[in-house]
Every structure is written in structure tokens, then in C-alpha cells.
Amino acid sequence: MSCSGFVGHAPAKHALALNAVEPRCGGVLFAGEKGSGKSTLGRAFRSILPAATPFVELPLNVTEDALLGSIAVEETLRAGRREFQAGLFSRAHGGVLFIDDIHLLAPEIVALVMEVHGRGENVVEREGMSLRHPSSFILVATLCPGEGEITPHLLDRFGMCAGLDRIEDAESRIEIIKSACGIRKTDQDRALADAIVEARTILPQVVVRDRMLEYVAELCLQYHVAGHRADLALLAAARAEAALHGKREVSREDIERVAPLVLMHRQRELQPMPPPSQNQEPPDEPDRKDPPPPQSDQEQFQDPPPEPDDHQRDENPPLPKELPPSAEEVFAVGQPFCMKRLFFRKDRLERAASGRRTSTRSRNRGGRYVKSVFRQSRDIAIDATLRAAAPFQKVRNRTDVVVINDDDFRYKRKERKMGHLVLFVVDGSGSMGAQKRMVAAKGAVQSLLIDCYQKRDLVAMIVFRKDHAEVVLEPTASVEHAARRLREIPVGGKTPLGAGLLEAYRLLERVGRKRPETRFLVVVITDGRANQTITDMAPEDEVAHISALLRERTGIDIMVVDTEEKGRFVTTDRAALLAAQLGADYHTIDDLKAETLTELVMEKREITIGQ
């Protein structure tokens, strides 16, 4: 199928034409459901490119050697010195690098692609080689948001983004069939290719006045984009748009036509103003001539409560209303949401593991071959061994076979994904009943459970309330069982935070002795207000002491999810202090919510420009 013969999705085709004219537009990402034509349109891009333009498609199982380049074994054997074999980056120079389903590509490979694409140069420092060569290409990629996400940072590296919906009307589907079967013939591709060649000759003459630069900056500020890539991509796209229309000067209309493609995936909501500090006084009430009438006769004769002085106000900030100590209530599970992607550091353990959470070194023959190493293992890296031996064949008097010494042997290091044991430590005290915090907390835990199911994690759950902590769910792979226990958690009583942390430490020790290779993730869901102890210490000292035990234990990652409602006049931020004591990552519930590409593309597509 040709590019101009592609039915519908005019913004996506517009983005390709702009990048063909000006590669500094930054490439384009197509996002949409299965069957929307993302891959077909990406491959059809070559039909409008000038003849002999390189078009390289990146396979999902690509290795670093294939991308960057490596030693050419045959040439090295023949010459007796290291000869470089160009990789895919070299082949894509001056053309297009197409990645289908970028969300399925290894993160390390994606990072390499983005680095070389941004720099326009490939730098190789490996296996005794030190060289660099230009590698400037148009990056085109596809993404199915329902199958995975990429980080906002990598998303920002794409100059443009276009959303593709599935075509539902019968007339358009008939046009697709005709185009795919070759029934429909058109010369539009040739005309568009000629227009692109003409626009490239005009492009160096296109000028941008200062007032248009000001308009570009105003648009980027208006949509709260981060960084300056949006400004540069918008300027490059506007110049390409002007050149496509045969103009030598960028107009306001040129900027407005390309702005949705550049700003759609970068647009961010304006962050709310931070709450006033405790030392600030609330704004004065407007003057009233007459006080409001009393609501009842009883209220009319009651004395007003004494106004606390400044010292009392600082010492005893008003707290949300909690459940009575003896009362219990079971709150519903709040609305789950799409979790943002969680990242954890790699360790150096070799495991016979499975899952989809974190990369780990593979102990068995399974996994992805990532590099060659000197350390002996069962898998010999034949390619790396030959590259190590090739430069020395002349001095070893090679005749018909390659002479390999013991020092030449290289071995494969493989990686595969592994799951974690995710331990939820949930605050079930009465303070979680204030403003129905437990509803939002259960919604956050439910969202994390869904993420655990997708990553094939084991889960366990501890609830602390009243005067003790209890393991309500032993480690299990059944996320459905965990969801049932979550719904049953009651709220009420005091907050024995130290007991919850100690019970988590005991469970980690018990499981760690049985399965030493287990990678743990402890998720503490609390507002951080401890008021009950299991020792003779003060609550704050007890929490600090047990936190030190958890912090010193290896093989665990810890997250603290703060359930306290932010934005109120007074907040305690005790959960942030707990995170610091644990050496943990700190999140509010809103922090865990991913601004998914689906929302960015499908809900923010209609960006109003110039109104």
C-alpha cells in the first residue's frame, strides 16, 4: 500500500511529510489500537521518500552489536588487524529507522536508539575499537498503548505524535480493501514525493520572524510542556510546513497547523498551587454588615469557642475527624487506575527466575544474550570469541582453521525478566477513616495488584491496627485472593505502625531463608501517624528503630504511599518522614497514576490553537 493511498488518518500522514522535508522535526510516534494501520503506514513511508533513501526496520530481537557495529571477522582474519563492521545505525544514516511496537523493545536498546538519534552520531568504544561515524536518521515508531507504555522522558524525545483509531465505517473499509488489492491506482505518491523534493530546496530560504518565535514560545508555555524540545520541534515543523506550501516565510497559520502534532503528547495539566504553610494566616473573610443568623435557638445562646493563641495553633494543628476508637467500618475499594511504570535497580545475582518486572542475570540457558564476558559459563559466545582471536591469526601461523587460545574464549551473559514478592503493609487504623482515606488507599492497592498480575509477581499482605499487626495474606500468586482480602479489611482503632513494619521484617526473613534469590518490594500504605507501640519506646523511636532494620536488609525495595489528603490548610507529612527513615521511595496516591499515552492521544487530540 502506498502512503497517499492509505485511507484516513490525515494528521499521521501530514507528520510523515513534514519529517521527510525536515528531519529535524524529530521523528514521529504512531499510537493506536491493534488494527488501526500504524505499521502499514510506517512501512508505506518509503513510497514518498526520494529514490535510494535508506529505510531500515529494527527487529525486536536486535542486539547491541547489530545496532552499534562490531568487528568484521572475515576481514579481520584476512588483514590481521581489527576491521569494523557497520551496524544498523550506519545503514540508517540519511534515511529512516522504523521501529514497530517500540514498547516491546528492550529498554536498553530504546535508550541507545534515542541517544544516537538525538546526537546524530554513533560512538563505538568496545573490544579495542574507538571510532565514531555520523548517524542522522528520521525515527518512526509505533506503539499500542494497551500493551505497554514508554516513559514520559522517551515520549518527549519524539518530535511528533499522532493517534490512530480503528476505522469503523464500511465505505472507508472498502477503500482499504481496494488499495490493498491494487485495484486503486494513483499518482499521488509521485506528486507528493516531487513536492517533498521541491520543499527541501526551498527550506534553507525559509525565514522566521521574531514575532513568530514569540508565538512558538507562547504556545509551549500555554500547554505547560517541559523542557525545550517542543519549541525546537515546533519551529522545525513550521518551517517544513511553509516549505511544503512554497513559502519563504513562516506564518502564524503554519505554526497552528503543525502545533497539535508537536504538543499533543507533551501537553501537561497545570499543577495546583501548593497549600499555604502553617505559618501563613488564612485570607481575611470579606466584610459583612450583619452577622449570619443563628441556625437554632440553642446555638443562639451558646458561647463561641475560645480562639486558640498562635502557640496552641502551632503545637496542635487541627486534624481530620477520625473514627471513634471502638468503632469499625469496612470501606469500599476506590476506583482503580492505570499505574505509572515502576523502575528498580538491577543486582548482580544470577537466578533461574520468571516474570515481567525487573531484568536479572539468567542462570540457565534461557534469556536474552546481552553481552560477552570473561567469566566462564556453559554458553560460549562464539561471535565474541572469534572477534577476540581474529586479529592474532597471522602471528599464530594460521593455515586452514582459526587458531583459538584459552585467553580468547568469551562467554554469554544472558538476562531475563523476573517477578518480585510484593508485600503490602496496609494501615487499618481509625485515622484511615478520615475523609474516607481508606477508599482511595484500597483503590491504590487494587491498582498495584493489577500491575502485579501483569508483571507475574507474588503478593502478600499485612494489616496493622489497634494494638497489633497481622499477616492477612501469605505469599501467593493469586491476585484474585488478594483482592478479596483487600475488600474485607476493616478500619478502626489506633495506629501500631511499628508493629506493621516489624511483621514485615519477620515475613521477609522467613521467606528469604527459604528462597534466598527472592527480590522483595515492600509497599507501605499509611498516613504515617503512629500512636500505639509494642515496646516501651515512644512511637516515633520505635518506628525509627524498626525502620533501620528494614533499611539495612539487602534485596528489598521499599515504597511509602502517603494516604494523607494534600492541599488542606494543615498537613503533617509524617509519611514523608517515614520514607526518609526507611530509605524508601515516597509517593502520594496521585503520584502513582500514570498519564498514559492513551489519554494523551485519545482525549487531548483536539488542541485548540489560535482561539
What number does CATH give the domain 329-344+420-592? 3.40.50.410
Q: Which helix (H) or strand (E) holds 370?
A: strand 368-373
188 or 480: whose pLDDT is higher?
480
* Local confidence band at 126 (pLDDT 50, 70, 90 cut-offs): confident
Task: Please give the pLDDT value at position 313.
Answer: 43
CB 390 within 8 A of CB 71: yes
- Nearest Cα to 329, choosing from 445, 471, 429, 442? 429
Percentage of the residues of the chain whose pLDDT score is greater than 90: 50
Task: Please give the pLDDT value at position 284.
Answer: 42
326 or 11: whose pLDDT is higher?
11
Least confident of 219-223, 302-306, 420-424, 583-587: 302-306
How far is 54 from 209, CA to CA, in rounded Å? 34
CB 341 within 8 A of CB 587: no
Q: Is the pLDDT of residue 344 over 60?
A: yes
Question: Which residues, in sequence order, are bridge partners of residue 546?
Answer: none
Q: Is the pLDDT of residue 471 over 60?
A: yes
Beta strands 350-351 and 160-164, pairing class:
unpaired
220 or 171: whose pLDDT is higher?
220
Q: Is the pLDDT of residue 285 over 80?
A: no
273: phi > 0 → left, psi -120 to 50 → alpha, else beta; which?
beta
Look at residue 323 and give its three-state secondary structure.
coil
Give the number of other Cβ atoms within 10 Å of residue 566's Cβ.
Answer: 13
Angle between helix 479-488 and helix 437-455 axes, rounded to 10 deg: 170
Task: Please give the pLDDT value at position 29.
Answer: 95
Edge-to-edge strand order for the sheet containing 160-164? 55-58, 96-99, 138-143, 28-32, 160-164
Beta strands 350-351 and 329-330, pairing class:
unpaired
Per the annotation, the verdict on 456 as an active-site residue is: no
Mean pLDDT of 533-557: 94
Q: Any alpha helices (H) in 29-151, and if so which ranges?
A: 38-44, 64-68, 73-79, 88-91, 107-119
Taking only the tens place, the pLDDT of each residue in 381-396 is 988 899 899 999 989 9
Q: Is the pLDDT of residue 181 over 80?
A: no
How far is 381 from 371, CA to CA, in rounded Å? 9
Q: What are phi and psi of 430, to 5 degrees?
A: -65, -25
Q: What are phi and psi of 578, to 5 degrees?
A: -60, -40
Taking only the tens place, the pLDDT of each residue in 72-92 is 888 888 888 888 889 999 999
Q: Work out the mean pLDDT of the chain and round it to a whole number.
A: 84
Task: Please give the pLDDT value at position 434.
Answer: 80
Q: How far apart are the first and last CA of the chain?
A: 38
Look at residue 339 and give its three-state secondary structure.
strand
How far is 532 from 149, CA to CA, in rounded Å? 42
CB 420 within 8 A of CB 457: yes
Options 24, 229, 387, 574, the catalytic residue: 229
Please give the single-letter amino acid code of residue 157: R
DSSP summary character for residue 207 = B
Q: What are phi and psi of 360, to 5 degrees?
A: -145, 160
Longest dimension (CA), the chain: 112
Task: Please give the pLDDT value at position 96.
Answer: 97
Mean pLDDT of 259-277: 65
Q: Is the pLDDT of residue 399 over 80?
A: no
Q: Which helix (H) or strand (E) holds 222?
A: helix 210-222
Task: Please give the pLDDT value at position 450.
Answer: 92
Mean pLDDT of 461-476: 95
Task: Please give the pLDDT value at position 178.
Answer: 61
How far is 27 from 282, CA to CA, in rounded Å? 49
Taking only the tens place, the pLDDT of each residue in 481-530 is 999 999 999 999 999 999 999 999 999 999 999 999 999 999 999 999 99
How far is 262 from 26, CA to CA, in rounded Å? 9
Q: Is the pLDDT of residue 141 over 80?
A: yes
Q: Any alpha helices (H) in 456-573, and if so which ranges?
A: 479-488, 497-514, 539-552
Q: Is the pLDDT of residue 279 over 50?
A: no
Task: Please give the pLDDT value at position 538.
Answer: 95
Sign (positive or negative) of CA dihedral 437, 439, 444, 449 = positive
Least confident of 178-182, 270-274, 301-305: 270-274
Q: Is the pLDDT of residue 421 over 60?
A: yes
How far is 598 from 200, CA to CA, in rounded Å? 34
Task: Please give the pLDDT value at position 185.
Answer: 45
Cell of 228: 525545550
Q: Is the pLDDT of residue 227 over 70?
A: yes
| Domain assignments of the chain as residue spans, ordered by start | 329-344+420-592, 362-416
Q: What is the DSSP string of 133-199?
A: EE---EEEEEE-TTT----HHHHHTSSEEEEEPPP--HHHHHHHHHHHTT-S--SHHHHHHHHHHHH
Task: Please give the pLDDT value at position 428.
Answer: 94
Percentage of the residues of the chain whose pLDDT score is greater than 70: 82
Look at residue 544 and give its three-state secondary structure.
helix
Taking only the tens place, the pLDDT of each residue in 36-49 is 888 888 998 988 89
How many Å separate Cα 27 from the centre of its chain? 19
Taking only the tens place, the pLDDT of each residue in 88-109 is 999 999 999 999 999 888 888 9
Beta strands 585-588 and 556-562, pairing class:
parallel
Please give the single-letter amino acid code of residue 411: Y
Mean pLDDT of 420-426: 96
Mean pLDDT of 171-175: 65
Mean pLDDT of 17-23: 96
Mean pLDDT of 527-543: 94
CB 158 within 8 A of CB 139: yes
Contacts of residue 277, Cβ cutoff 8 Å, sequence gap at least 6: none
pTM passes above 0.75 = no
Cell of 347: 543486582
Q: Any alpha helices (H) in 516-606, and if so which ranges?
A: 539-552, 574-582, 589-592, 597-603
